[in-house]
Amino acid sequence: MKKRSEILVLHGPNLNLLGRREPEIYGKTTLAQIDDSLRALAKESDVEVTCRQSNHEGQLIDWIQEAVGSFTGIVFNPGGYTHTSVALRDAVAAVATLGVPTIEVHLSNVLAREEFRSKSMIAPAALGQISGFGAQSYLLGLRALLQVKKEGKEQ
């Protein structure tokens, strides 16, 4: 019997405040609601998801590295680290070479916001990026990752 795919979902800094933090930008959906939606989609797709959130760059890097051997892919919203973290970019690139691709997701359309948000350090190392669809960005990211894994068209 084939082992079920296991997907790691990582939420970066300040995403624990979703639903309360700047709802005009990030919406009113809470992080718990996003995680529940991801679990429901995963169940329909016969995969498992593990969802984690941290405000700490080093913790996110540890989880990305620990994904090797445990997860088949990562859906990652790096939050504000998107624009600043070479270390997270390097971790995403490293695990991609070891068979764990990452889809970068964002709730808001980062390209329609402040200019400093237009450059993602993560995107060049990720398999793809989805932004601007609110909580749906996560579900679209999961669907994209599952489709790529099914087709065997990883990086």
The structure tokens listed for 100 are: 């764990």
Domain-located, residue 44: yes
Domain-located, residue 121: yes
Domain-located, residue 1: no
Binned at pLDDT 50, 70 and 90, residue 1 comes out as very low
pLDDT tens-digit profile of 92-149?
999 999 999 999 999 987 765 667 667 899 999 999 999 999 999 999 999 999 999 8
Q: Where in the sequence is the domain holding 13, given as residue range(s)?
A: 6-151
Domain-located, residue 32: yes
Domain-located, residue 13: yes
For position 100, which CATH number holds?
Answer: 3.40.50.9100
Of 8, 7, 10, 155, nearest in space to 82 by CA: 10
pLDDT tens-digit profile of 59-93?
999 999 999 999 999 999 999 999 999 999 999 99
138 is catalytic: no
26 is catalytic: yes
Which residue out of 11, 81, 83, 106 is catalytically annotated?
Answer: 106
pLDDT tens-digit profile of 30-56?
999 999 999 999 999 999 999 999 999
Domain-located, residue 43: yes
How many structural domains are present in the chain?
A: 1
Which residue out of 11, 26, 81, 138 is catalytically annotated?
Answer: 26
